[in-house]
A and B are shown apart, each in its own frame.
Chain A
Amino acid sequence: MGITFRKETFRDDFTFRNSPEHIRRFPFPFHEDSYMYAVNIEPHVVGPKGSVLENLIDVDEHYVAEMQDRALVLAEDPLRCQSLPHMTLAGWDLLELLMEQQALGYPEHFTLTRDGDRWRWINRPLGIDDTFTFGDTSTLPYGPMEYITRQSQGDFCILDQRDGNLWMDAGMVTTQADWSLDFDIGMNFFEWHAPVPLAHEKGIFTRALKFLTNIQQGKPARRLNWTMTINPRLDTSPENYHKWGPDRATVTPDNVGDKVHLRVELQSFWRLPRSNAIVFPIRCYLIKMDELVTQPKWARRLHRVIRDLPEELATYKGLTRYRPTLVEWLSKLDDGSATSPGFGPD
């Protein structure tokens, strides 16, 4: 059973939609009726069938459209993809990881065959059939990291591990929630997380760094993060703030359901074998309010989370301007009854 890939856009006319199946599949990030910033790391293991964790690297109905949007972003701004000179080996590691996982999870769409260093990669949804020599960049149309991340959903940061810290020395970042690879490139873990409020006071980042630097090969970990986006725009970069920032002023009681999107990031952390680097896939999932509230439990819970969110976090996540409108709209869908335990819909 193959995936039916949707034709849709993440800009201008915004034709992005989730199918009913994908609404229920959405990785709703709240397991209770309140939220506080926390590390919330868990092992990245296969989850339930029909969920985004059915495969460790998720490919979904938005794959082709997202890759097309990525190509548009890169054409406008090539610096969304950077790899410092010492990161080439890590790029090859990532190419291997993503090809293996996509071929493993979706053999009807991807095929990887290897004969020593001679590899053949077939990507049917994108019409790619390439043969190359592993480790020889001249046999690919781009460097290894760029080549494979033009064919993989989500953003990717490759973190070099040295001096007991992690350094963002390579990445493909076109679907980020308001941060810039070009700004963060070469920074260490504490430097690129400096903007997150409250967390430093709780020692959360020191603990998180300890955990990440001890990630073992073959034992990836993950966490969920979330924010909100007006219109289903993947590229909410600081570079393009002038395009998407004003959207926050366009929310009205009449268009909340269509414009306001919950944006969830499934972040995973993998130890790469040859380079000993960590790769940080950041997979973005979008769902508009009209779609989310087709699941009554989620409607009630989201109402309570957003209503009670600490002001500092609301400001950091950029919700302040439209939060009252959203809370009012959601409150009509909250009858006060209890929500069942767990993340999933009822």
Chain B
Amino acid sequence: MSTGTTKLDVVVSDVVPVNELVTRFHFRRRDGELLPTFSGGAHVVVEMRDGDRTRLNPYSLMGSPLDTREYTISIRRDDVGRGGSLFMHRSVRPGLEMVISYPVNLFSLDLRAKKHLMLAGGIGITPFMAQTAQLAGEGGNFELHYTCRTASLGTYADVLQQRYGRRVRLYHDDRGERIDLDRLLSSQPLGTHLYVCGPAGMIGWVRERAAALGWPPETVHFEHFAAPQPGLPFDVTLAISGKTIRVGEQQSLLEAIEAAGVDPPYLCRGGVCGQCETNVIASDGKFIHNDHWLSEEDHRSGCKIMPCVSRFEGKSLVLER
């Protein structure tokens, strides 16, 4: 997610425990208007204000793309994670006002496909809730294979079977049920596209078997279900304006510079246009370049940085601002 994403002010309209690990959250716009339309597979980034920390985690939108009175997301509690899911499970109640991003889709349906073959692992079912709703509404041809640990942890399995009947196949680990992946992948008609969302191991397994069985890479779509890593805070000296600033975990360097009252040039705020290119006067540490503007040579030289998207780890950084 690039910084500067357009934001939506929402209120939590419902919090529904789905099973012992998963809770569903419903959001409506604070002003009561419809939320933006989205496409199946889209996610929103949820801002979580937890004391002095703000976390940003992406979650798939689950509702039908045709109904934007509210957004729904489902979150699996992760007791050893960074704390985002714990925050949502423990602190979010109906009536709480929150901020989320506009929908972003990095796992969209390929509408050319003659058939959509979907493989979901555990909480990876969430983007397929919206995609199946979208396809069902359009008369699309799809088949969903859903693996989960146990029947009680099969989040939304009953809903999916009720809606789509034989187009949904369930596999429960505790009953020794496994997808016969090679057989499944070998028996699909020409023009089928494959979508997989689940744990990294499952994604790797499916991609490897698909490649071995001759599936063209363009027909295999996957989404890793992992939150972005936070950047470490770092201090910066702005040589021209004479200020020293701290860049927070969830703040871009550009935002921190602006917050200090300095007015650097910018345009796209996405690491592409080159406007905010900034000279590094001195540094003692490691650059984390995330831009697409500077050349590899520029990155290695350590003389320039794009503050909109890039970061730094180390003892000192002095910029010409």
Contacts and interface: CB of A to CB of B under 8 A. Distances in A.
Given A43-B268, A273-B103, 11 more contacts: A85-B112, A96-B37, A162-B218, A210-B271, A211-B270, A211-B272, A217-B104, A219-B102, A273-B36, A274-B37, A276-B42
Nearest to A219: B6
B38 A273 contact: yes
A207 B292 contact: yes
Contact of A89 (B101, B111, B218, B274): B111
A217 B2 CA distance: 13
Given A42-B268, A217-B104, A274 B65 contact: yes
A219 to B, nearest CB: 5
Given A42-B267, A217-B38, A210 B292 contact: yes
Interface of B: 2, 5-6, 36-39, 41-42, 65, 101-105, 108, 110-112, 134, 138, 218, 267-268, 270-274, 292-293, 295
Contacts of B6: 216-219
Nearest to A160: B111
A206 interface: yes
A56 to B, nearest CB: 14
A227 interface: no
A254 interface: no
Interface size range of chain A in the complex: 20 to 34
A124 interface: no
Nearest to A210: B292
B270 A217 contact: no
A275 B39 contact: yes
10 contacts: A41-B272, A43-B267, A85-B112, A96-B37, A162-B110, A162-B218, A216-B5, A217-B6, A218-B102, A276-B42
Contacts of B271: 210
Contacts of A87: 111
Interface in A177-226: 203, 206-208, 210-211, 214, 216-219, 221
Interface of A: 39-43, 85-87, 89, 93, 96, 160-163, 203, 206-208, 210-211, 214, 216-219, 221, 273-276
Contacts of A86: 110-112
Q: Which of B36, B42, B112, B274 has the most CB of A within 10 A?
A: B112
A35 to B, nearest CB: 17
Residue in B271, B272, B292 whose Cβ sees the most chain A Cβ within 10 Å: B272
A51 B272 CA distance: 27
Contacts of B101: 216
A211 B105 contact: no
A130 B78 CA distance: 52
The 5 nearest A-B residue pairs measured at CB: A273-B37, A211-B272, A86-B111, A276-B108, A276-B39
A45 B268 CA distance: 12
A99 to B, nearest CB: 14
A222 to B, nearest CB: 11
